[in-house]
Amino acid sequence: MSLLDGQRSVLFVHAHPDDETISTGALIAEFVARDSRVFLLTCSRGERGEVVDGPLTALAGTEELARERELELERATGILGITERFWLGEPPARVDGLEPRRYRDSGMVWIRPGLAGPADDAADDALSVAPLAEVTADIAALIVRLRPSLVISYDDGGGYGHPDHVRAHDAARAATTATGTAFAEVLEAPAGDEEWFDLPQHLAVVTDALRAHASQLTVHGTEIVHSGGQREAIGTSAGLRLHPHPAV
């Protein structure tokens, strides 16, 4: 029995616009191809991310950047075939009775190539600074509403250490425990205790969805070029490590 089989609906929890496509675009496309309903919860608008050199450069550091990244995410979501998309802090991804809020991008610094750590100037309303209990409760509110058969987010290292990714993992995992929902972590490299998927058949749709994130990256052939100049191959493989929970 594969984790891909028989999933009625799957909720992906990601920290920033573009993460859903870069790290899980092929998985999303595969669930869609198998007629699972796919939901996406995005925690922040990537307000502190860099901007690709070009016509959008002037948006860096402005409120319009958040708006632009909302539009980009909307386009990518449509290309991937996602059923419905949500922002953390806004109903139904908000505890009933609480005012809606935004969780902002916390920013990051590079500790060494490939490993990020917290920036020392994260704002008070940043995702990684907000109380874990509040973030967890907001994710749990969405889970209760959607009742997905599986929730998927980063591993406990946040993939590469971004503090918002780590927070998204911690809160998503806690929310699945609280609601008795199965949780799986995304692995970028085989570790031996995951189910591994090679999904090259989804390269074209992932590439198209990546192009929607034009303020964050450019696509050159089969490579992503990030706003900071780092290059990586477009990924169509990923692992899922399951943490089952008994029904509550």
CB of 22 to Zn ion, least distance (A): 8
> Which residues ranging from 13 to 52 are in contact with Zn ion (CB under 5 A)?
15-16, 19
Size of the site for Zn ion (CB under 5 A): 3
Using the minimum distance from each CB to Zn ion, give the nearer residue, 4 or 217: 217
Using the minimum distance from each CB to Zn ion, give the nearer residue, 226 or 245: 226
CB of 158 to Zn ion, least distance (A): 8
Q: Please, which residues have CB within 8 angstroms of residue 90's CB and are 6 or more apart in sequence?
A: 100
CB 180 within 8 A of CB 151: no
CB of 37 to Zn ion, least distance (A): 24
Token code pair at residue 6: 């028989």
- Cα 173 to Cα 119, 124, 185, 235, 240: the distances in Å are 24, 23, 9, 24, 14
Using the minimum distance from each CB to Zn ion, give the nearer residue, 50 or 195: 50
Using the minimum distance from each CB to Zn ion, give the nearer residue, 7 or 24: 24
Q: Please, which residues have CB within 8 angstroms of residue 240's CB and are 6 or more apart in sequence?
A: 3, 27, 152, 184, 185, 186, 187, 194, 195, 197
Residue nearest Zn ion, CB atom distance? 16
CB of 237 to Zn ion, least distance (A): 19
Question: What is the C-alpha to C-alpha distance for residues 13 and 168, in angstroms, rounded to an integer?
Answer: 7
CB of 58 to Zn ion, least distance (A): 22
Using the minimum distance from each CB to Zn ion, give the nearer residue, 45 or 202: 45
- Nearest to 205, CA basis, from 67, 94, 50, 81: 81
Could you tell me whether strands 37-42 and 108-112 are parallel, antiparallel, or unpaired per DSSP bridges? unpaired
CB 115 within 8 A of CB 154: no
Using the minimum distance from each CB to Zn ion, give the nearer residue, 15 or 79: 15
Render the burial of 126-152: b for 16+ CB within 10 Å, e for the rest.
Answer: bbbebeeebbbbbbbbbbeebebebbb
240 binds Zn ion (CB under 5 A): no
R_g over Cα of the chain? 17
CB of 201 to Zn ion, least distance (A): 25
CB of 18 to Zn ion, least distance (A): 7
Region near Zn ion per CB under 5 A, out of 7-15, 118-126, 135-143, 194-202? 7-15
Which residues would be at the binding site for Zn ion (CB under 5 A)? 15-16, 19
